[in-house]
């Protein structure tokens, strides 16, 4: 008995088996690709608002720091004036104009002491303001960094989503080509 007539269909069967195997592999590849839902659009408006708040906080912190430095200088000048007037007495002559200091001397010393007290009080308030401005700046910087990190994470998620969608499209195309064979 000759097997040659039956073997003639073997090549066709092998070709069909390869096509079916290729179809099965590409179908498995298509079903294995998971494409997540597309990520939401980044909130660029929230980032812009956070940037504006950060810039305002930076300006406020710089202004408060400048105010503290100016008041430190003012306090130094007032303390020097008080120290100079403390070295004088009511019986002495004014070092600037030469007139007797007399009763006005006590008023000058009281005025100098009041200047120092006022400068110290304003410096204390300005220092508290600077501390608050520094805390607000830290919070604004953290909020801005959070918004920026959100944008970067969404950009990375969008890129990953695009890659997965592209892999799926490529696999579906390969499946379609294999199916047409």
Could you report the per-residue pLDDT of 92-144, keeping only the tens digit for each?
A: 666 666 677 777 778 878 888 999 999 999 999 999 999 999 999 999 999 99
pLDDT at 2: 58
Residue whose C-alpha is closest to residue 124's, from 81, 68, 63, 73: 68
Judged against a pLDDT cut of 60, whether residue 181 lies above it is answered with: no
Percent of the chain with pLDDT over 70: 88
Residue 25 to residues 1, 169, 171, 177: CA-CA distances in angstroms? 38, 15, 10, 13
pLDDT at 109: 83
pLDDT at 8: 67
Pairwise pLDDT comparison (89 vs 163), residue with the higher score: 163
CA distance 181 to 163: 27
Percent of the chain with pLDDT over 90: 54
């Amino acid at each position: 008995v000759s097997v040659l007539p039956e073997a003639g269909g073997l090549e066709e069967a092998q070709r069909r088996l390869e096509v079916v195997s290729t179809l099965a592999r590409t179908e498995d590849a298509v079903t294995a690709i998971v494409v997540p839902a597309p990520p939401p659009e980044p909130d660029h408006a929230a980032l812009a608002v956070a940037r504006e708040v950060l810039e305002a906080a930076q300006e406020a912190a710089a202004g408060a720091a400048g105010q503290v430095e100016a008041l430190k200088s003012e306090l130094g000048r007032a303390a020097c004036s008080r120290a100079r007037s403390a070295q004088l007495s009511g019986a002495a002559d004014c070092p600037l104009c030469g007139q007797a200091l007399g009763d006005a001397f006590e008023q000058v010393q009281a005025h100098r002491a009041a200047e120092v007290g006022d400068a110290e009080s304003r410096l204390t308030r300005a220092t508290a303001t600077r501390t608050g401005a520094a805390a607000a700046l830290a919070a604004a910087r953290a909020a801005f960094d959070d918004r920026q990190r959100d944008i970067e994470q969404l950009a990375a998620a969008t890129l990953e989503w695009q890659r997965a969608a592209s892999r799926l499209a490529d696999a579906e195309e390969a499946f379609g080509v294999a199916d047409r064979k």
